[in-house]
Amino acid sequence: MSPSVFDVIVIGAGASGLMLAAMAAARGRRVLVLEKANKVGKKILMSGGGKCNFTNLYVEPENYVSHNPHFVISALSRYSNWDFIGMVCDYGIQYEERKHGQLFTLNGAKEILAMLLKECDKTGLVTIKTSAEVKQVTTLDDHGFQLATTLGFFEAESVVVASGGLSIPTLGGSGVGYEIAKQFGHHIYPTRAGLVPFTFSDGFKEVTTRLSGNAIEATLSNDLNSFTEALLFTHRGLSGPSSLQLSNYWDVGQSFKIDLLPSLDLTHLFKTKKQSQPKVLLRTLLSEHLPKSVVLELQNLIWLEHADTAIGNVSDDKLDAIAAQLHGFEVKPSGTEGYRTAEVTLGGVDTTEVSSKTMESKKQKGLYFIGEVLDVSGHLGGYNFQWAWASAHAAAQYV
């Protein structure tokens, strides 16, 4: 059975894989894209609640988590958020800015996927095959690679691993990229779920279950980072942007702090109210700033013995202690919801063994890694898509 021969084979038809295919074809390369799932771009379609948060107005290297933080600088500077926004505008795709510079489509993620597929169709040089699982990658004697797949054998001069990570396996997430990297001698940083809700198994789980559906603006922090965004209570624990962001900087066994009222100086508020409204109860005062149900749970946890004591009769020391706990409420998750709901996979292919200029392996000529398979994970807010576009652009100039 004679293998079909291409210039470039891309493993994975997600954001980075389709972007690379279109850009490499624009250079005249004949590209084959192999997708394990039955459809392309599944993760694109469900991203941002179906609205696709395709990039961010403010993209900095600090928005990425990696053991090698400088790695992202080169690719991000050569293909910026403005480059991708330009393409979106060329296609007449309407979008809106939400808070923290996040850009979302107005009419759905399908428009971003359609744009990438049109870019792939422009040259007639891109072939996309779905339900195509890669079983084996071998190097050829002269140069290049042969891939054994469920659809037969294919050969190419360059192979680009754009298979993503382990997150949301129902959408095609798999570990094939890590296996290929290991085969060619690459070090893989241990992987874990990122941008993922926290779960609890202690008494705090009962609190979050009772408060399920309530959201507040809060600051979640540990020694590594802090994020002030919406915090959502769920049946399992804590979710919402602030939780998802901090999960990238958290590991099992660690605790973190929640500032439940980051925009207020509670010590000052309590002292002034003690003078001006000495008969007011703490729960009445705090219910002006937090949902009543949240205040009642906090009362049970923090100042139960003073639940019915007027603020004028609570000592200053006690008020200071209550304020400190509300600004630094410590919790210790038992874990996270895992890959099932994670938006990204932390860890992956060690970037010190990959060229930051070309995304080519330093261990195997002609082998490239782009997107989420690398040890690069963005914050919530369009940063992972921007890394997909930028890393694909970097590799597309050289494959």
Q: What is the pLDDT of residue 1?
A: 46
CB 292 within 8 A of CB 282: no
Quick one: residue 77, left, alpha or beta (phi over 0 = left, psi -120 to 50 = alpha)?
alpha
Q: How many CB atoms lie within 10 A of CB 398?
A: 15
Amino acid at 228: T
Q: What is the pLDDT of residue 174?
A: 76
C-alpha–C-alpha distance, residues 134 and 72, integer Å: 28
- For 25, phi and psi rounded to 5 degrees? -65, -35
**Consecutive 10-residue averages of pLDDT for the chain (399 residues):** 85 98 98 96 93 98 97 98 98 97 98 98 97 96 93 97 85 84 98 97 96 98 97 97 97 97 97 96 97 98 97 97 98 96 95 98 98 97 98 98
Overall pTM surpassing 0.75 (yes/no): yes
For residue 142, the model assigns a pLDDT of 78
Amino acid at 271: K
Burial of 14 per CB tally in 10 Å (0-12, 13-18, 19+): buried
Tokens of 282: 């703490």
Q: Specify the pLDDT at position 2.
A: 57
Encoded tokens for 220: 């979640």
Query: 151 φ, ψ to 5°?
Result: -110, 10
pLDDT at 3: 66
**What do you get for the CA distance between the two ends of the chain, in Å?**
26
* Closest by Cα among 21, 13, 5 to 145: 5
